[in-house]
């Protein structure tokens, strides 16, 4: 058996410095260390371009940026927390290990105890009486011009923390201020949305990540094999089936945050916040969504409801614009809304108009019309007066529903608002119709269809819901180019 050689995995020069530190009886991976102040707290305490020294003793920590000697020949170590850099002086007269800086490399994690000597040109200078190596880095840095000079490029920032192909160093990307600020913004957004729902009495529920598939999942589902139970399963497209069951069981306000998998979508794995509220209609959840998102945006942007996006401003301030599909067609397209078939039935004759002749050119598909309109809507807008088949509780044969409402801002669809069908017979007919191919060869209902029908059979009150795309909203609010810039990790981790 070949003996393991650390040099095969780690940088030789750093391994040599680690050995020398150990020879000095320096523990390079201590189990305990407790800072008494962050670098930012230290800066605030001694705020000012040329602040005075302090007598208070502090213990701080950070990663090494660079080391060297001052003009007075004092050894120093510059450390950072990712936002602020502090210069730690290792004065020979007071420091036993004053030359330890020779054994430190950029990104080593160190701690120091001492006092603030001065604040010079906005830089805190820390007079250290003791320095501790907290973690000696051993990684081989990517090819670069010089130690510590690597920059996070545009491809890294676009991929964010995902480590996708093209990102030369995903760990370095973690420390990029711009990337970190975007991930922090996503966290604040989710925190504010959840806080708002909690104040309104919503109960957050986790739903199963795997579902029993229909007989023929088709392109609308991700199907996989679960070895533990020896069965095929699908990944969830929405949380509505489980929320409907909870509504039938007596819960009146349900929410959940998780990943929905929709192969047909531009991004197949979508982080969404979905909620269902009993005894409400679309008008009620429009008010809820408007207040929830507007307040979150205002908190995220320090009281400002507008967001800068590609040189334009997107306004999330209340009240949002309310636009019917008919008005949107007239305003943003060259089509005549009154001459088009009704979006709900697709049959003009049923609406009292004449049916198109066989010689008439085919009408634009409603979904295509929406795609034309969406990029032209900048400020937060409710687009209503039509029905789509992507609402989570909707089946192909739903009848008598309140029209679907889309939330659009910055030229992107951010949310779908919907009502849940209550009549189990109408839903059953819709399921049967949608699962019957053109050749008439019928198929059995899926377990999710059966679950939905069982919930409706128990009876549910009038219920409406919202599905909010957290990824798209995060990208818009941070003016990012891609979802990877605001996600901590990609959906399918291939870093191994």
| Nearest CA-CA partner of 468 in 185, 189, 158, 180 | 189
Residues 64, 106: Cα–Cα separation, whole Å = 5
Q: What is the mean pLDDT of residues 220-240?
A: 80
- Pick the range with the lowest mean pLDDT from 56-60, 229-233, 271-275, 343-347: 343-347
Task: Give me the pLDDT at residue 152, please.
Answer: 42
Confidence of residue 356 (pLDDT cuts 50, 70, 90): low
Residues 33, 131: Cα–Cα separation, whole Å = 11
pLDDT over 90 (residue 279) = yes
What contacts 427, CB < 8 A, 6 or more positions away? 395, 397, 398, 421, 452, 453, 456
Q: Give the orientation angle of helix 240-248 with respect to helix 447-458, to 10 degrees.
A: 30
Task: Give me the pLDDT at residue 261, please.
Answer: 81
pLDDT over 80 (residue 205) = yes
- Pick the range with the lowest mean pLDDT from 82-91, 139-148, 278-287, 359-368: 139-148
Encoded tokens for 261: 């998998």
Task: Give me the pLDDT at residue 491, please.
Answer: 55
What contacts 124, CB < 8 A, 6 or more positions away? 39, 42, 43, 46, 84, 86, 87, 116
Of residues 426 and 87, more confidently modeled: 87
Q: Is the four-CA dihedral 269, 271, 277, 283 of positive or negative sign?
A: negative
| Nearest CA-CA partner of 197 in 245, 259, 241, 257 | 257
Encoded tokens for 22: 């150990």
Residues 423, 428: Cα–Cα separation, whole Å = 9
Confidence of residue 337 (pLDDT cuts 50, 70, 90): confident
Under 8 Å between Cβ of 355 and 349: yes
Q: How many other C-beta atoms can be found within 10 angstroms of the C-beta atom of residue 14?
A: 19
What contacts 1, CB < 8 A, 6 or more positions away? none
Task: Give me the pLDDT at residue 163, please.
Answer: 45
How many CA atoms, within 13 angstroms, populate the side-chain half-sphere of residue 41?
A: 8
How many CA atoms, within 13 angstroms, populate the side-chain half-sphere of residue 130?
A: 10
How many CA atoms, within 13 angstroms, populate the side-chain half-sphere of residue 103?
A: 22
Task: Give me the pLDDT at residue 431, please.
Answer: 59
Residues 117, 405: Cα–Cα separation, whole Å = 61
pLDDT, the chain, mean: 78
Task: Give me the pLDDT at residue 284, please.
Answer: 94
The position carrying tokens 């109960």 is: 203
Residues 110, 133: Cα–Cα separation, whole Å = 5
Whole-number Cα distances in Å, 248 to 224, 278, 409, 466: 30, 10, 34, 18
pLDDT over 80 (residue 150) = no
- Pick the range with the lowest mean pLDDT from 41-50, 66-75, 415-424: 41-50
What contacts 13, CB < 8 A, 6 or more positions away? none
What contacts 315, CB < 8 A, 6 or more positions away? 305, 306, 378, 379, 380
Encoded tokens for 147: 């130690």
β-strand pairing of 75-80 with 58-69: antiparallel
Residues 353, 290: Cα–Cα separation, whole Å = 36
Angle, CA of 178, 182 and 184, to the nearest 5°: 115
Q: What is the mean pLDDT of residues 88-98?
A: 70
Q: Is the four-CA dihedral 109, 112, 116, 117 of positive or negative sign?
A: negative
Task: Give me the pLDDT at residue 210, please.
Answer: 82
Of residues 65 and 154, more confidently modeled: 65
pLDDT over 70 (residue 400) = no
Q: Where are the alpha helices (DSSP H) in 226-324?
A: 240-248, 282-300
Q: How many other C-beta atoms can be found within 10 angstroms of the C-beta atom of residue 58?
A: 19
Q: How many other C-beta atoms can be found within 10 angstroms of the C-beta atom of residue 43?
A: 21
Encoded tokens for 205: 């529920």
Task: Give me the pLDDT at residue 466, please.
Answer: 95
Under 8 Å between Cβ of 52 and 46: yes
Q: Is the four-CA dihedral 369, 371, 376, 380 of positive or negative sign?
A: positive
Of residues 97 and 331, more confidently modeled: 331
Whole-model pTM above 0.75?
A: yes
Residues 305, 293: Cα–Cα separation, whole Å = 10
Would you report the helix, strand and coil content of the chain in percent, each value rounded to 5? 30, 25, 45
Residues 243, 357: Cα–Cα separation, whole Å = 44
Of residues 52 and 215, more confidently modeled: 52
What are phi and psi for residue 440, nearest 5 degrees?
85, 5
pLDDT over 70 (residue 446) = no
Task: Give me the pLDDT at residue 95, please.
Answer: 54
Q: What is the mean pLDDT of residues 169-196?
A: 84
Encoded tokens for 52: 């005075």
pLDDT over 50 (residue 29) = yes
Of residues 47 and 421, more confidently modeled: 421
């Amino acid at each position: 058996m070949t003996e393991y050689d650390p040099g095969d995995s780690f940088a030789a020069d750093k391994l040599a410095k680690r050995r020398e530190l150990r020879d000095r009886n320096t523990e390079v991976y201590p189990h305990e260390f407790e800072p008494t102040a962050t670098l930012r707290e230290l800066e605030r305490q001694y705020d000012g371009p040329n602040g005075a020294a302090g007598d208070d003793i502090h213990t701080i920590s950070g990663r090494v940026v660079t080391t060297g000697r001052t003009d007075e020949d004092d050894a120093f170590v510059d450390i950072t927390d990712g936002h602020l850099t502090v210069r730690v002086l290792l004065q020979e007269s007071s420091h036993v290990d004053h030359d330890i800086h020779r054994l430190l490399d950029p990104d080593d994690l160190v701690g120091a105890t001492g006092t603030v000597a001065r604040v010079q040109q906005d830089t805190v200078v820390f007079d250290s009486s003791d320095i501790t190596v907290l973690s000696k880095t051993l990684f081989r840095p990517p090819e670069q011009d010089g130690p510590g000079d690597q920059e996070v490029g545009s491809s890294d920032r676009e991929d964010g923390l995902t480590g996708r192909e093209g990102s030369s160093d995903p760990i370095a990307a973690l420390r990029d201020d711009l990337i970190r600020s975007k991930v922090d913004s996503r966290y604040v957004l989710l925190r504010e949305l959840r806080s708002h729902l909690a104040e309104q009495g919503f109960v957050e529920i986790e739903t199963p990540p795997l579902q029993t598939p229909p007989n023929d999942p088709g392109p609308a589902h991700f199907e996989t094999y679960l070895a533990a139970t020896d069965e095929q399963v699908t990944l969830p497209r929405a949380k509505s089936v489980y929320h409907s069951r909870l509504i039938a069981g007596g819960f009146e306000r349900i929410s959940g945050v998780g990943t929905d998998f929709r192969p047909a979508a531009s991004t197949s794995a979508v982080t969404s916040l979905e909620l269902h509220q009993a005894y409400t209609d679309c008008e009620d959840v429009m008010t809820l969504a408007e207040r929830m998102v507007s307040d979150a945006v205002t908190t995220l942007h320090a009281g400002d409801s507008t967001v800068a996006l590609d040189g334009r401003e997107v306004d999330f301030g209340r009240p949002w614009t309310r636009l019917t599909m008919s008005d949107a067609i007239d305003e943003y397209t060259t089509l005549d809304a009154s001459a088009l078939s009704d979006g709900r039935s697709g049959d003009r004759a049923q609406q009292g108009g004449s049916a198109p002749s066989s010689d008439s050119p085919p009408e634009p598909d409603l979904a295509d019309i929406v795609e034309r309109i969406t990029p032209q809507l900048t400020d937060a807008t409710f687009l209503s007066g039509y029905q789509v088949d992507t609402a989570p509780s909707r089946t192909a044969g739903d009848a008598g529903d309140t029209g679907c409402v889309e939330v659009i801002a910055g030229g992107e669809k951010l949310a779908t608002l919907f009502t849940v069908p209550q009549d189990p017979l109408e839903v059953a007919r819709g399921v049967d119709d949608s699962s019957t191919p053109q050749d008439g060869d019928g198929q059995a209902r899926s377990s999710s269809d059966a679950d939905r029908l069982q919930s409706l059979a128990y009876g549910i009150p009038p219920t409406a819901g919202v599905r909010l795309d957290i990824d798209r909203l995060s990208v818009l609010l941070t003016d990012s180019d891609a979802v990877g810039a605001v996600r901590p990790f990609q959906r399918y981790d291939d870093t191994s």
